[in-house]
């Protein structure tokens, strides 16, 4: 009898143990599903993000705050976000230590550089563009706490500060692309230095440099189409022709050496009053999309993630930094250029609200965009001194 009771107790404990393990396994599975779909953690911010307007289903939060003049961004292999600045002469390194999509650790790497706007990352190295120099920091993520002196890749670019700050990026051909802006609002100085108003490219070590595109007044953002491989870039239109002309531009390069009009023609149709008689607009490549005058388009990016709805893969996202010399401000938003068969078919707003149109006051100016592995979007803001993260659910 005692043996039978002992046997029944053992069977009961075994069944209970199995059920408990099943319940625990089911609980862990449910919790895992919640982790994948849970809302991002809200972090306190002094910025009025409630003023921003996004399409239904999208949400914007602060990824990092207090970054004076945050501009160009580049992501390291180990998840370190590098951020350049223009007037602040600072390079930042940001780390999200607990994977909650908020950068708890912000490091200042250098404060001695001249307008280190451009940053790019390749093969473990951080590339930083000053006005006239390109620097390379090998194994940067292994020396964040003890930064070593960088290698100088080149130091012979023009020293003019006007449009001298640079956006840089590596293309699908593994070459580094570096623009050289026009050293003025409007001038013709290519005879003095053929690199003025161009986009150049080179090997990662600085060799084999060449001019890739001409007639580019001031591009501070470019990328490559994920299907065609063509370079797409924004260009800021000239000033002092009034509120509404000329348009800023979104352009596409289809072959090396193409000329995009500056200083003779603007936006594909506007003849320059000083230099326009030298060549007709028909001699130059027209923009894919003529954008608003003075909106100051900077970054352009294509979406290939899985978080946003599929339709957003048909758009080019453009960060419009916003006007500084217009009687009423424009820009200060993320816009969308819808593409069909490599042609623009619409131009609309994705996010706005950084500018209060009625009061003509702004709390932010979008600069650069970067997509994370989960498909969310980071946006840098050099006026609000912040980086935002945009998600869709």
pLDDT value at 71 more than 90: yes
Looking at the structure, do residues 145 and 255 belong to the same domain, yes or no? yes
Half-sphere CA count of 195, side-chain side, radius 13 A:
16
What integer pLDDT is reported at residue 39 of this predicted model? 53
pLDDT value at 83 more than 50: yes
- At 8, the pLDDT band (50, 70, 90 cuts) reads very low
Measured CA distances, 103 to 21, 71, 79, 99, 388 (Å): 37, 16, 11, 9, 11
Whole-number Å distance between alpha carbons of 318 and 332: 11
Q: Which residue, among 170, 70, 57, has the nearest Cα to 123 in the 3D structure?
A: 170
Whole-number Å distance between alpha carbons of 97 and 104: 7
Contact residues for 177 (Cβ-Cβ < 8 A; gap 6+): 168, 169, 170, 171, 199, 200, 201, 212, 222, 231
pTM for the full model? 0.89
What integer pLDDT is reported at residue 34 of this predicted model? 29
3-state secondary structure 132-185: CCEEEECCHHHCCCCCCCCEEEECCCCCCCCCCCCCCEECCCCCEEEEECCCCC
Whole-number Å distance between alpha carbons of 62 and 386: 7
pLDDT value at 386 more than 90: yes
In a domain? residue 20: yes
Convert the pLDDT of each residue in 354-370 to its tens digit: 999 999 999 999 999 99
Judged by DSSP in three states, 75 sits in strand
Looking at the structure, do residues 313 and 192 belong to the same domain, yes or no? yes
ω into 150 cis (within 30 of 0): no
Convert the pLDDT of each residue in 269-320 to its tens digit: 999 999 999 999 999 999 999 999 999 999 999 999 999 999 999 999 999 9
User: Which residue(s) pair with 75 in the sheet?
Assistant: 81
In a domain? residue 62: yes
What integer pLDDT is reported at residue 44 of this predicted model? 82
In a domain? residue 290: yes
Residue 62 has which token pair? 């602060």
Are 254 and 233 contacting, i.e. CB atoms less than 8 angstroms apart?
Answer: no
Whole-number Å distance between alpha carbons of 224 and 316: 11
What integer pLDDT is reported at residue 341 of this predicted model? 86
CA torsion 347-348-351-356 (nearest 10°) is: 110
Looking at the structure, do residues 146 and 21 belong to the same domain, yes or no? no
Are 94 and 104 contacting, i.e. CB atoms less than 8 angstroms apart?
Answer: no
What integer pLDDT is reported at residue 41 of this predicted model? 64
pLDDT value at 114 more than 60: yes
Are 383 and 71 contacting, i.e. CB atoms less than 8 angstroms apart?
Answer: no
Looking at the structure, do residues 17 and 108 belong to the same domain, yes or no? no
Whole-number Å distance between alpha carbons of 217 and 235: 6
Handedness of CA 120, 121, 122, 126 (dihedral sign): positive
Looking at the structure, do residues 178 and 248 belong to the same domain, yes or no? yes
Span 127-133, average pLDDT? 98
Convert the pLDDT of each residue in 10-45 to its tens digit: 444 444 444 444 444 433 333 333 234 345 567 889
What integer pLDDT is reported at residue 40 of this predicted model? 53
Tokens 């193409």 correspond to 258
Looking at the structure, do residues 152 and 12 belong to the same domain, yes or no? no
Span 186-208, average pLDDT? 97
- Tell me the residue range of the domain where 24 lies: 1-35
Q: Report the domain count for the chain.
A: 2
In a domain? residue 44: no
What integer pLDDT is reported at residue 9 of this predicted model? 43
In a domain? residue 69: yes
In a domain? residue 10: yes
CATH number at residue 143: 2.120.10.30
Looking at the structure, do residues 23 and 98 belong to the same domain, yes or no? no
Looking at the structure, do residues 18 and 73 belong to the same domain, yes or no? no
pLDDT value at 230 more than 70: yes
Whole-number Å distance between alpha carbons of 383 and 128: 21
Are 290 and 268 contacting, i.e. CB atoms less than 8 angstroms apart?
Answer: yes
Convert the pLDDT of each residue in 315-353 to its tens digit: 999 999 999 999 999 999 999 999 998 899 999 999 999
In a domain? residue 286: yes
């Amino acid at each position: 009898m005692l043996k039978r009771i002992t046997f029944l107790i053992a069977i009961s404990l075994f069944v209970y143990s199995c059920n408990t393990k099943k319940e625990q396994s089911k609980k862990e599975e449910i919790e895992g599903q919640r982790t994948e779909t849970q809302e991002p953690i809200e972090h306190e911010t002094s910025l009025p993000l409630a003023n921003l307007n996004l399409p239904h289903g999208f949400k914007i939060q602060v990824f990092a705050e207090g970054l004076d003049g945050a501009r160009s961004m580049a992501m390291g292999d180990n998840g370190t976000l590098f951020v350049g600045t223009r007037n602040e002469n600072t390079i930042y390194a940001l780390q999200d230590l607990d994977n909650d999509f908020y950068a708890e650790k912000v490091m200042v790497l250098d404060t001695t550089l001249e307008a280190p706007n451009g940053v790019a990352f390749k093969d473990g190295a951080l590339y930083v563009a000053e006005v006239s120099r390109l620097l390379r920091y090998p194994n940067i993520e292994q020396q964040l706490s003890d930064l070593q002196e960088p290698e100088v890749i080149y130091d012979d670019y023009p020293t003019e500060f006007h449009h001298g700050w640079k956006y840089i990026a590596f293309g699908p051909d593994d070459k580094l692309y570096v623009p050289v802006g026009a050293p003025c609002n409007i001038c013709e100085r290519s005879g003095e230095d053929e690199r003025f108003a161009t986009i150049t490219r080179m090997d990662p070590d600085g060799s084999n440099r060449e001019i890739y595109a001409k007639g580019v007044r001031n591009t501070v953002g470019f990328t490559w189409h994920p299907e065609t491989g063509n370079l797409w870039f924004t260009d800021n239109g000239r000033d002092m022709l009034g509120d509404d002309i000329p348009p800023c531009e979104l352009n596409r390069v289809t072959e090396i050496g193409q000329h995009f009009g500056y200083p003779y023609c603007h936006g594909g149709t506007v003849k320059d009053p000083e230099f326009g008689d030298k060549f007709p607009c028909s001699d130059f490549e027209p923009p894919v999309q003529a954008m608003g005058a003075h909106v100051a388009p900077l970054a352009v990016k294509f979406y290939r993630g899985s978080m946003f709805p599929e339709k957003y893969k048909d758009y080019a996202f453009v960060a419009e930094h916003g006007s500084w010399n217009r009687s009423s401000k424009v820009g200060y938003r993320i816009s969308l250029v819808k593409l069909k068969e490599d042609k623009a078919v619409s131009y609309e707003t994705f996010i706005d609200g950084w500018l209060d149109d009625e009061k003509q006051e702004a709390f932010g100016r979008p600069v650069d965009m970067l997509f994370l592995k989960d498909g969310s979007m980071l946006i840098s803001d050099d006026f609000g001194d912040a980086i935002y993260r945009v998600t869709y659910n």
